[in-house]
Structure 1
């Protein structure tokens, strides 16, 4: 019934009890999950996990915050997408959040390597014919600008993809939708103070909406502050149902259909 479109099941908080995690998913009617790569060093474990279980799939990519890791070429990423059960490139994108605290006082100009990495991932996705899983935080102008410069405007040859764990403004959501991208909402939408995100949740069209946990992070209410798991994605769906004036079953239905449409390899 429900699909978790973005989670990190190889992270140590979750990897040690896969049997328990999968049993909890089944009990919560969470039937599928997309396991996300954040480094190429991690990718073999992510792909192996997806290959082991028939309701898991994988991505290949390097998170914008990952430093001092192997920097893949377009050819390496394309080759990774040819492995079994790999359905997307990412997560990739830009992260300028709290530059002073998190990035040692560096300026946006100093993060040219992030932008070049993002371009590499976009080019690989287009060449491989798979969608992008995009992370953008405090960097929406550059994220959208680079996508446009690389030809990602929804036309022929575009990779398309999803803006995952969306936390930006309504204007950014509209711009992402205008480029042909999907918008995925996480447990943050259940937080009372996420008022602008509540408005975003109401404006995304039915056929462009996804849900996710980003597990093991960002657990939804009533589990906020605890380790997150794909079994909690129905709580995201329930809050979206309230915000959109529909049923949780309907949210499960449309987001699962959208997942299959965006990632057609999951049904092949």
Structure 2
């Protein structure tokens, strides 16, 4: 069955896809159309995430080619055994590029790769130090590792404060509280729009709305009405509609709030947008 045709709304509110993977082969040869569709749905800016340092040149080239696309760089926790770990010095050097706006994604994944938890923790601490050094926000992936994640993030923050977003947040209320208590942000993906995700929506609704971001994590996790299909930045619009309902806000108000939140966290992207 083909995907439902995308019909852009009239004058959609401006939103940001704070986490996507435009360098993935799912989008090969389609980026002009992907970005055009995103803009037609109100997605004015995107952050594409490098998950393996070997792919950084491709990610940088995408960001250089499209003014709407910024990028972040790091090693995904599920990839830490595939190549030598990146160093703090390397991440700081990469961050000299003004189009790089975040550190990561990094984090812990004990669901798919529990055998590498020690290396994952080492890599996470490296990325935390790079975020501390650069002032760029840390982008965290967490799965089935809530206790260790909260402990390591808190330990690092107490040593030297830094900024952070819990990307594609789908963990439990304890990790949400730990992150929010540190002043971090929770990012709402298509998972929050799934019919069976009421517990997750309850966690979001209990959070301050000025600490919420939007994302797709595309090509994964498409929200309804595209669930099961390839996700893309344009579909941030559908998660934003659900988010507005969760927080009891109009779509315009929720879009404006989450965009302001993005600009507060991703200050480098905000400065670039103002200068454009």
| Superimposed CA distance per residue, residues 130-149 of structure 1 (whole angstroms, 9 cap, x where no aligned partner) | 11000011101111111122
Aligned counterpart, 2:129: 123
In 2, Cα distance between equivalents of 1:141 and 1:134:
14
Aligned-partner SS, 2:127? helix
Contact 1:209 / 1:255 at 8 angstroms: preserved in 2? yes
- Where structure 1 has 5 or more consecutive residues not aligned to the other structure, the ranges are none
Give the number of aligned pairs.
Answer: 257
In 1, Cα distance between equivalents of 2:86 and 2:174:
32
**2:64 paired residue among 40, 51, 57:** 51
Aligned counterpart, 2:233: 230
Contact 2:191 / 2:197 at 8 angstroms: preserved in 1? yes
The 5 Å alignment of 1:105-254 reads 107=115, 110-150=116-156, 152-153=157-158, 157-254=160-257
Aligned counterpart, 2:261: 258
| Superimposed CA distance per residue, residues 39-85 of structure 1 (whole angstroms, 9 cap, x where no aligned partner) | 10111211221122111111010000013123111100110111130
Contact 1:93 / 1:136 at 8 angstroms: preserved in 2? yes
Aligned counterpart, 2:97: 83
TM-score by length of 2: 0.90
Pairwise CA distance, 1:247: 1.3
- Where structure 2 has 5 or more consecutive residues not aligned to the other structure, the ranges are 1-13, 272-276
In 2, Cα distance between equivalents of 1:57 and 1:184:
17
Contact 2:209 / 2:247 at 8 angstroms: preserved in 1? no
Contact 1:74 / 1:120 at 8 angstroms: preserved in 2? yes
- 4+ residue stretches of structure 1 with deviation over 2 A? none
1:96 equivalenced with 2:110 (yes/no): yes
Aligned-partner SS, 1:193? coil
In 1, Cα distance between equivalents of 2:20 and 2:136:
18
In 2, Cα distance between equivalents of 1:49 and 1:14:
12
In 1, Cα distance between equivalents of 2:147 and 2:244:
30
Pairwise CA distance, 1:163: 0.2
The 5 Å alignment of 1:31-42 reads 31-42=44-55
RMSD: 1.4
Pairwise CA distance, 1:168: 1.0
